[in-house]
Structure formats: C-alpha cells, structure tokens
Amino acid sequence: MKAEMVKVTIVKVPIPRSHPRFESLTVRERMVEGLAEGLVVPEGLIAHGRGECFDYLLGEETQVFALKAIRAAAASFLLARKPVISVNGNMAALCARELVELSKATGAPLEVNLFYRSRVREQAVASALRRAGANVVLGVKALESLRGLESMRRLVEAEGIGEADLVMVGIEDGDRVEALRRLGKRVIAVDLNPLSRSALKANITIVDNVVRALPKLKVEVERLRKAGLKNLQKLVSSYDNRRILAEALNHIRRRLGALASSLGEE
Ligand code: ATP
Ligand code: MG
C-alpha cells in the first residue's frame, strides 16, 4: 500500500517529560508525523519497531563498538573520491536536519532512494530535506537502474550513487547493501540489528540508532579533518566489521545475563 493511499488521523497528546520512555516516544511521534506527511510508509513503521526492539536490548545508548565504527566511517568519508548519503523515508522523518549537516560536513550529496517509490513520495522526501537546509537533493530525476536489484530501489542517479565509491545507508534492507557491494562500492550502514543482512554485508556497520549516530558521525568527521592521510588510511585498514558485530552481540549477551541475574536467576 502506498503512503498517498493511506489516510492518517493523528491524535496529538503531549508526552510528559517525566515519562521513562520520553525520548523513544518522541522519536516514535516523528515517525507518525512522517507517515502523515507522506515520507514514511506503514511498512516503515514496522521496520522502526524492529529497530526499537534492538535499541532496547542495546541499552538505548551509543556503545563503544558503535563509536569505533563511527571513527572508521568518518575516516572513510574523508578518504572517499565520491561519497553519497542514501536517504529513505524513515531517515528523512527521523533526522533530516542531521542528514543535511552530515552532508555539508562530508561534501557527500544526499540521494533519495525508496523501496516504495512514487513521484509524490520522492518529492515529499526531497522537500523535507530541502526544508532542513539541503541545497541539492539527488535521486528525483534522470534515474538509471542499478544492476542486481529488482525493487524500485534499483533506481539511482547516474552522477550520484551510480558513480559513488562510498555509499552510506541507514535503516536499509540487506539486498540493497549486497547489490551496492557487488558493484564494488564501499558501504557504511547504520543499523540497530547486528544480525541483519545489511549489518553483515556492509564494510562498516554502525550498530546504533540513526538519531544518535548521525550527529556523532558529523563531529567525528570534523575532528578527523586535520588527521593526515596515513592516519585516516590506518583507521580504515585496521577496522574489522565482523569483530565489531561480535562485540555488539557480546554486549547484548552480557547485558541480558546481568539483567537475568538481577531478576534472581543464577
Ligand atoms: P535485512 O534485510 O538487512 O536482513 P531486515 O529485513 O531485518 O534487514 P529491514 O526492514 O529490511 O530489516 O531494514 C530495517 C533495519 O533497520 C532493521 O535491521 C532495523 O533494526 C533497523 N532500524 C530500524 N529503525 C532504526 C533506527 N532508528 N536506527 C537504526 N536502525 C534502525
Ligand atoms: Mg530486509
């Protein structure tokens, strides 16, 4: 079902600041507003829920393994010949401003890429990015097909993702990451699920919520801007994504173990 075919009635009630899940509920509200604005599709809400579940397990904070991935990702952006940031509906609804700031810090343009693509929806996402301060938004015209993908996400802009050597994706499906990798592109994924195909297939996986990770990534890009070429190359070559994913899984395992003990289990 396409977003423009769904009528959404939003009942706005203030979320009390004192609510223990205030931040999570505020983010959820942004998703619902995104649905009403035509940025998000109903399936996007479900994907968000899967993310929330993993965020709960991770402790809803940026963990050390995510910081390591953020450092390698920042170095990769600074070393890339032609980096592009791929934006879907959930990303635009949750962090349009942060995406624009990251784009400005890295010089990587934003490109709209949607699984449930329609003219109305791609325009809605592009407008949200422009309202957030983007001067250029790719992925809304003159699109070509990426080899190895059947869905609408195969459509990319020739001078954008088509030519990119580095693509950053967030809240993304695994087969797209695979297709980008097969075309020889390096992929940075932001994904709360360390077990997802996206997480496993990307070169660098930031296991964190996009709303926390993007501002940190921007700060890291600015911090590393003065680092020499050799240092940047070393940060990238010494990075091991499988080890980072193992650290994320071990973190969840240890955390669940501690929580189980606190509930009285041996
Ligand atoms: P894959 O196809 O890679 O195996 P999937 O089918 O489990 O993934 P998709 O719906 O294709 O999931 O992609 C959504 C992914 O984005 C999920 O892994 C989900 O955990 C993650 N996700 C959802 N919300 C967020 C968020 N706010 N920040 C980061 N990741 C998120
Ligand atoms: Mg999937």
Domains and CATH numbers, the chain: 64-248 (3.40.50.12640)
Distances 93 to 10, 68, 98, 147, 205 between C-alpha atoms, Å: 15, 26, 11, 28, 21
Distance 46 CA to ligand 2 centre (A): 11
Residues 6+ apart with CB under 8 A from 180: 146, 161, 167, 169, 187
Provide the pLDDT for residue 184: 95
Angstrom distance (rounded) from CA 39 to CA 96: 11
Provide the pLDDT for residue 166: 98
Give yes or no for a contact between 107 and 83, defined as CB atoms under 8 angstroms apart: yes
- Counting from 1 in the atom list of ligand 1, the atom nearest the Cα of 53 is 20
Angstrom distance (rounded) from CA 263 to CA 266: 9
Q: Which two structure tokens, joined as six digits, stand for 205? A: 């996986």
Angstrom distance (rounded) from CA 102 to CA 85: 9
Distance 192 CA to ligand 1 centre (A): 7
Atom 22 of ligand 1, nearest CA residue: 51
> Of the ligands numbered here, which is closest to the C-alpha atom of 193?
1
Distance 42 CA to ligand 2 centre (A): 15
Distance 49 CA to ligand 1 centre (A): 9
Atom 6 of ligand 1, nearest CA residue: 173
Distance 49 CA to ligand 2 centre (A): 13
> Of the ligands numbered here, which is closest to the C-alpha atom of 191?
1
Atom 11 of ligand 1, nearest CA residue: 173
Provide the pLDDT for residue 1: 45
pLDDT along the chain (266 residues), means of 10: 60 83 89 94 96 97 98 98 98 98 98 90 96 96 80 86 97 93 96 98 98 98 97 98 98 96 83
Provide the pLDDT for residue 3: 44
Provide the pLDDT for residue 6: 62
Residues flanking ligand 1, CB < 6 Å: 47-48, 50-51, 54, 94, 170-174, 190-193, 196-198, 209-210
